[in-house]
Amino acid sequence: MIDSFRHKGMRKQLVDQLAQKGIEDQRILDAFLKVPRHFFLDAAFTEQAYTDIAFQIGAGQTISQPYTVAFQTQLLQIEKGDKVLEIGTGSGFQTAILCELGAKVFSIERQKELYLKANQLIPTLNYTPKLRYGDGFEGWETFGPYDKILITCGAPFIPDALVAQLKPGGRMVVPLGEGNTQEMILLTKSTNGEISQRSFGKFRFVPMLKDTAK
Which residues have a catalytic role annotated? Answer: 64
Q: Cβ distance 150 to 172 under 8 Å?
A: yes
> Interaction with ligand SAH in 15-44: which residues (CB under 6 A)?
none
Considering the complex, state which of residue 46 and residue 61 has its C-beta at the smaller distance from ligand SAH: 61
Does 135 participate in binding ligand SAH (rule CB under 6 A)?
yes
Least CB distance from residue 86 to ligand SAH, whole Å? 7
Q: Is the peptide bond before 145 cis (omega within 30 degrees of 0)?
A: yes
Count residues binding ligand SAH (CB under 6 A). Answer: 23
Does 64 participate in binding ligand SAH (rule CB under 6 A)?
yes
Question: Which among 63, 64, 60, 37 is positioned nearest to 50, based on CA atoms?
Answer: 37
Kindly compute the dihedral angle of the four CA atoms of residues 159, 165, 166, 167, in this order, to the nearest 10 degrees.
160
Does 68 participate in binding ligand SAH (rule CB under 6 A)?
no
Least CB distance from residue 85 to ligand SAH, whole Å? 11
* CB neighbourhood size of 101 (10 A): 20
Which of 29, 114, 162, 187 is close enough to bind ligand SAH by CB under 6 A?
Answer: 114
Does 165 participate in binding ligand SAH (rule CB under 6 A)?
no
CB neighbour list of residue 84: distance below 8 Å, 6 or more residues apart? 76, 78, 98, 103, 104, 105, 106, 146, 147, 148, 149, 150
Q: Cβ distance 147 to 167 under 8 Å?
A: yes
Half-sphere exposure of 110 (CA within 13 A, CB side): 21
Considering the complex, state which of residue 179 and residue 193 has its C-beta at the smaller distance from ligand SAH: 179
Q: Cβ distance 94 to 122 under 8 Å?
A: no
Does 110 participate in binding ligand SAH (rule CB under 6 A)?
yes
For residues 144 and 77, what is the distance between their CA atoms, to the nearest angstrom? 18
- The interface region with ligand SAH, picked from 4-12, 85-93, 140-148, 190-198 by CB under 6 A, is 85-93
Which of 111, 140, 162, 175 is close enough to bind ligand SAH by CB under 6 A?
Answer: 111
Which of 90, 139, 170, 175 is close enough to bind ligand SAH by CB under 6 A?
Answer: 90
Binding site for ligand SAH (CB under 6 A): 61-64, 87-88, 90-91, 93-94, 108-111, 114, 135-137, 152-153, 206, 208-209
